[in-house]
C-alpha cells in the first residue's frame, strides 16, 4: 500500500488539478494505484482491520470497486481530493499500523 501511495503521489507531484484533468495517462495511472491500494485492503486479515478502526478500510475497498467496475464515473476532482487530502493521512495510518504490527 505504501508503495502504491508513493507512486501515486509521485505521478501528480507538481501538477495542478487543471493539468491533471487533461492528462489521461496520469488519471489512469492514479486510478490503477488506487485500485492496487483497495485490493491490498481487501487482502488484509479482518482481525488486523478491527485492531485499527480509525483507518477507513471499507471506504478504501468500496472506492476500489468503483474504480474497477465503474471507472467511467470516476470524477477527476474527487480523485484529486483523495490524492491530496486523503492519501497523506492514509500513509501515516499505514505507517503506524506497520510499526505497531512489527512490535506484536
Residue range 34-50, pLDDT digits in tens: 999 999 999 999 999 99
| Catalytic residue check, 69 | yes
Annotated catalytic residue: which of 7, 51, 59, 69? 69
Q: What is the 3-class SS of the chain, one letter each residue? A: CHHHHHHHHHHHCCCCHHHHHCCHHHHHHHHHHHHHHHHHHHHCCHHHHHHCCCCCHHHHHHHHHHHHHCHHHCCHHHHHHHHHHHHHHHHHHHHHHHHHHHHC
Annotated catalytic residue: which of 7, 64, 91, 104? 64
The residue count for the chain: 104
Q: Taking 70 as the threshold, does the pLDDT of residue 70 lie above it? A: no
pLDDT (mean) for 43-64: 94
Q: Taking 90 as the threshold, does the pLDDT of residue 103 lie above it? A: yes
| Catalytic residue check, 7 | no
pTM: 0.87
Kindly state the percentage of the chain with pLDDT values over 70: 95
CA dist., res. 15 & res. 50, Å (int) = 36
Number of domain units in the chain = 1
pLDDT (mean) for 8-17: 96
pLDDT (mean) for 50-58: 96
Domain coverage including residue 46: 2-103
Amino acid at each position: 500500500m505504501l508503495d502504491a501511495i508513493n507512486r501515486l503521489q509521485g505521478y501528480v507531484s507538481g501538477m495542478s488539478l487543471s493539468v491533471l484533468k487533461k492528462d489521461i495517462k496520469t488519471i489512469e495511472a492514479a486510478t490503477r494505484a488506487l485500485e492496487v491500494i483497495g485490493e491490498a485492503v481487501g487482502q488484509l486479515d479482518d482481525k488486523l482491520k478491527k485492531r485499527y478502526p480509525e483507518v477507513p478500510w471499507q471506504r478504501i475497498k468500496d472506492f476500489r470497486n468503483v474504480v474497477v467496475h465503474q471507472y467511467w464515473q470516476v470524477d477527476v476532482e474527487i480523485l484529486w481530493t483523495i490524492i491530496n487530502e486523503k492519501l497523506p493521512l492514509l500513509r501515516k495510518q499505514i505507517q503506524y499500523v506497520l510499526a505497531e504490527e512489527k512490535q506484536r
